Amino acid sequence: MFSHDDIWNGIDRLASAHDLSTSGLAKKAGLDPTTFNKSKRQTPEGKPRWPSTESLSKILSVTGATLTELTELIESNGKKPSKNVDKTPFSITSFSFKDIVKKPGFDPSHAKHSPVDISLEHVFDFEDFSQAMVLCVLLDTDEFEPTFKKNSKLVCRLKENFVNSGRVLAKTSDGRILIGEISSVSKETLELKCLTGKNPSRRIEAGDISWIADIIWTSQP
């Protein structure tokens, strides 16, 4: 099990391995340049702040590194990671975006599904998640470009609450599908900053959300 310092040291080493500062790595990944600054690694109260799965996914994407390589950097004190990556796939629940839209009462935790193979290296700490609570959504639409290209795969973990997190995919009771970031949350409402697509940023009543899922990994064509 990696500690808070282990994870951050691994990010530092990944940046160094690509001749970047941590600020340069964040900027290259499309994140705020201060995302990985040492001042951001703790809360104002002094509690540990962990990097999000979304930020890890982005830095792996822009550097071309795999999760296994990042893990080896975390464990190896900066030694060059090996290329011996276990890409053994396993199957998880898979739905198309259009299928979700067409079915007003769609519930991913109970619906029939087709399996999709995902390599273990692609999902950070996947062993912490129940496969029954994880689904893969194929975006067979260009509605969310340029952030997500048509035919992208979004691996999502169903949420049981509306705590702040990174990017989420949500379905409202009137059938709308929203992709965005939770900017604030209360017992009654959820503020969702939509990233792209036809749906603007909006405030949603908690009772109007049929289900919501964290986007924990993406694969774009």
CATH number at residue 127: 2.10.109.10
- From 42, 75, 108, give the residue that closes a domain: 75
- From 32, 47, 75, give the residue that closes a domain: 75
In a domain, 80, yes or no: no
Averaged pLDDT score across all residues of the chain: 75
User: For residues 8 and 39, what is the distance between their CA atoms, to the nearest angstrom?
Assistant: 12
Number of domains in the chain: 2
User: For residues 175 and 210, what is the distance between their CA atoms, to the nearest angstrom?
Assistant: 9
Give me the pLDDT at residue 106, please: 66
Vertex 95 angle, CA 57 and 197, to 5°: 65
Percent with pLDDT over 70 in the chain: 72
- Return the bridge partners of 66, or none: none
Claim to verify: residue 93 and residue 201 sit in the same structural domain: yes
Is it the case that residue 98 has pLDDT exceeding 80?
A: yes
DSSP summary character for residue 122: G
User: For residues 173 and 179, what is the distance between their CA atoms, to the nearest angstrom?
Assistant: 15
pLDDT, tens digit, for every residue of 31-86?
A: 988 999 988 888 888 888 899 988 999 998 888 777 877 887 887 654 444 444 44
Residue 214: name the closest of 91, 69, 57 by CA. 57
Distance of CA 187 to the CA centre of its chain: 24
Full domain range(s) for residue 110: 89-219
pLDDT, tens digit, for every residue of 154-202?
A: 888 787 766 666 678 888 888 788 888 887 878 788 888 887 655 577 7
